[in-house]
Structure 1
């Protein structure tokens, strides 16, 4: 899926063709899925210039009858930021900001998807959210680096207003993916000890200082454990970064994300550009290498 492909579905600001607006975030609100919205699938889409790419809102996470869900496949979500969501969230340690995917006790599946250049979060899960990522690339280099102090991928079991802590229903799975960006900690798991049994992070390249140990701590996973197969704090060597409108998040020559020997199930046969992956040693992230 290339941004220039005439066959993809585009959700973007109506002035994105003008140079000064092409990469500007927050020009429209985003795609919202309310509590009773089920069975949603977004494929082959470009979502950009918004406050959030996809927003799932479930005010009653105890109810399984009203739990929004969305599967996002072979898509790109980028240039995201803003304060367009009206909700009382100031009490949470995470706050409420723009996000490529923002889930409030919803179910999100991300496959073969690039999330990039977001000013706050690429993926943010609250409450009893269930988030699963497989062969995704998070590459977060927004145009104004000084504005971002938040981890690209953040997850908490707190309610949106920070007053309720949920003890079940939340899951986080990250497989065969890349979580990278411009700050030292691109992954944050608030209250991890409360839901540690529901967290699986394997065979992924991650930028983290908080979780770089080889053993679990009281409230922090040790993501360097040999059995997990993760690659920590090694530059994925994207083809081109820090050019904003022409960033290229494919893998460059010599990338440590190439030819993984620890691929976690299940393999997605083709990448974001519809190229066949090597079934025995697939590259990490949304793109397989072409050289």
Structure 2
């Protein structure tokens, strides 16, 4: 008989038997199932009673740097049992005399834990958070505690160290008219602040301004942020843990509103914003609404500088590494750029926009077009990046369009620019992928500038009578 016929007969007999004796089949299956479970008896782990050395993922837990009263991000410490038997950790605790730290073990938060079992070859995850008290100090301070583990009478410790910084906190507020911010404690901004019309904010040398995620500095009056070479002013985000010192898009930036005038930012750094500077200050004169000098603007998800029918003066400035434009001057304005380096190597970004764009028009979302007379003067500067054309213009024909670009080094295919500038020759930055845009020994930018009376460079080094192009003067080591 074929095998298939035998299989069919067997299936028919089995089905008939199940119909005739259903109870027997049920109890047979149940007995087999219970037998399977009874053979899987739980065995308690065997614990070692001798000396055991736990192993830790970190020899020290660091928090760097925390603003006082602000809860930290969570740090993680793994505890490993490399022994062949389970261990019972009789105590896990932190000294915590500062009351700054909290632990979470097995989902429970506290400062001390008892009789925590750890199987052979297994690990235990400990979560640590810190909230430091205000110390009424201008300088950073350190808080040190000890995380201890006692196993079979033997104690092991892991230091826990947090650097703290007291601060002035500002949240969603209009500043007192004619405020003065001083060096010492940094100023930390949550949400938005506003420098009101007819008022000023003066920021003194050495002042640090830290902005929380999504916050904006609005200026309808006047911002006077004048640092020095020895004590520059810093605008950046308020997170200092690893990876965030160069993380773009951590705050919105500085927005100059219509009516704002006579703004100054010198010897400053502005970084890690969305659009670092947004200048929307149309008026009827050609005086700079914002004067930028000896300033570094970098690491922005949007643009470094956006202007709308506004007047801007830039000297000795470095603007680099932006997700969109480095500099976009739209719908007109009076723009002066001298001894500045505008560069974009797309570090961490995929970009399609050129480094710099100048237009006398801008189409708005409602379809209307904003127009304004445009005047651009660029001299002794570098515009260089990874794209073939890093400089763009757009003339509507409805407003004046005056462009004077000479004695610069530019990456472009525009033949009109090539007559008065060095084009498509790599400036040979020292280490552009490490944010070092000083020119190297063989740079074609050396000695190619004209003397404009700008005697020092962005590093406060002296320029000679044949200055180099860009923000930095080359100096032989």
| TM-score above 0.5 | yes
- Name the structure, 1 or 2, with higher relative contact order (CA <8 Å, separation 6+): 1
How far apart are 1:172 and its partner, in Å? 1.3
Query: Does residue 233 in structure 1 map to residue 412 in structure 2?
Result: no
How far apart are 1:267 and its partner, in Å? 2.9
C-alpha distance in structure 1 between counterparts of 2:303 and 2:376, whole Å: 17
More strand by share: 2
> Are the aligned partners of 1:205 and 1:231 in contact in 2 as well (CA < 8 Å)?
yes
> Are the aligned partners of 1:43 and 1:74 in contact in 2 as well (CA < 8 Å)?
yes
The one of 398, 411, 418 equivalent to 1:224 is 418
Q: Are the structure 2 counterparts of residues 194 and 224 from structure 1 closer, same or farther at C-alpha, using a change threshold of 3 Å?
A: farther
Question: How does 1:77-116 map onto structure 2 within 5 Å?
Answer: 77-81=297-301, 98-116=302-320
Structure 2 equivalent of residue 48 of structure 1: 271
> Are the aligned partners of 2:363 and 2:370 in contact in 1 as well (CA < 8 Å)?
no
Q: C-alpha offsets along residues 61-113 of structure 1, whole Å, 9 cap, x if unaligned?
A: 4x5279981000001000011xxxxxxxxxxxxxxxx2111101111111000
C-alpha distance in structure 2 between counterparts of 1:196 and 1:104, whole Å: 15
C-alpha distance in structure 2 between counterparts of 1:196 and 1:257, whole Å: 31
The one of 229, 245, 249 equivalent to 1:22 is 245
Structure 2 equivalent of residue 71 of structure 1: 291
Query: Does residue 7 in structure 1 map to residue 198 in structure 2?
Result: no
Where does structure 1 differ by over 3 angstroms across 4 or more consecutive aligned residues? 65-68, 192-197
Gaps of 5+ in 1: 82-97, 214-221
Q: Are the structure 2 counterparts of residues 180 and 194 from structure 1 closer, same or farther at C-alpha, using a change threshold of 3 Å?
A: farther
Q: TM-score, normalised by structure 1?
A: 0.79
> Which is worse superposed, 172-181 or 183-192?
183-192
C-alpha distance in structure 2 between counterparts of 1:45 and 1:271, whole Å: 14
How far apart are 1:183 and its partner, in Å? 1.1
> Are the aligned partners of 2:373 and 2:400 in contact in 1 as well (CA < 8 Å)?
no
How far apart are 1:247 and its partner, in Å? 2.0
Structure 1 equivalent of residue 107 of structure 2: none
Q: Are the structure 2 counterparts of residues 32 and 203 from structure 1 closer, same or farther at C-alpha, using a change threshold of 3 Å?
A: same
The 3-state SS of whatever aligns with 1:223 is helix
Q: C-alpha offsets along residues 232-259 of structure 1, whole Å, 9 cap, x if unaligned?
A: 00000000022xxx32100001100001
How far apart are 1:192 and its partner, in Å? 7.2
> Are the aligned partners of 2:306 and 2:328 in contact in 1 as well (CA < 8 Å)?
yes
How far apart are 1:197 and its partner, in Å? 5.2
> Are the aligned partners of 1:34 and 1:68 in contact in 2 as well (CA < 8 Å)?
no
Structure 2 equivalent of residue 248 of structure 1: 436
C-alpha distance in structure 2 between counterparts of 1:253 and 1:66, whole Å: 39
Q: C-alpha offsets along residues 34-66 of structure 1, whole Å, 9 cap, x if unaligned?
A: 1111111100100000012211114xx4x5279
> Are the aligned partners of 2:374 and 2:401 in contact in 1 as well (CA < 8 Å)?
no
Structure 2 equivalent of residue 89 of structure 1: none
Structure with higher Rg: it is 2
Structure 2 equivalent of residue 135 of structure 1: 339
Gaps of 5+ in 2: 1-228
How far apart are 1:14 and its partner, in Å? 0.7
> Are the aligned partners of 2:337 and 2:378 in contact in 1 as well (CA < 8 Å)?
yes
Q: C-alpha offsets along residues 126-170 of structure 1, whole Å, 9 cap, x if unaligned?
A: 11222210000012123234x20100101122235163252x521
Question: How does 1:161-240 map onto structure 2 within 5 Å?
Answer: 161=364, 163-164=368-369, 166=371, 168-191=372-395, 198-209=402-413, 211=414, 213=415, 222-225=416-419, 228=420, 230-240=421-431
> Are the aligned partners of 1:171 and 1:195 in contact in 2 as well (CA < 8 Å)?
no
C-alpha distance in structure 1 between counterparts of 2:472 and 2:380, whole Å: 11
The one of 256, 260, 266 equivalent to 1:33 is 256
> Are the aligned partners of 2:373 and 2:401 in contact in 1 as well (CA < 8 Å)?
no
When the two chains are superposed, the root-mean-square deviation of aligned CA atoms in Å is: 2.2
Count of aligned pairs between the two proteins: 246
Q: Are the structure 2 counterparts of residues 283 and 68 from structure 1 closer, same or farther at C-alpha, using a change threshold of 3 Å?
A: closer
> Are the aligned partners of 1:101 and 1:124 in contact in 2 as well (CA < 8 Å)?
yes
Q: TM-score, normalised by structure 2?
A: 0.49
The one of 460, 463, 468 equivalent to 1:274 is 460
How far apart are 1:29 and its partner, in Å? 0.8
C-alpha distance in structure 2 between counterparts of 1:122 and 1:172, whole Å: 16
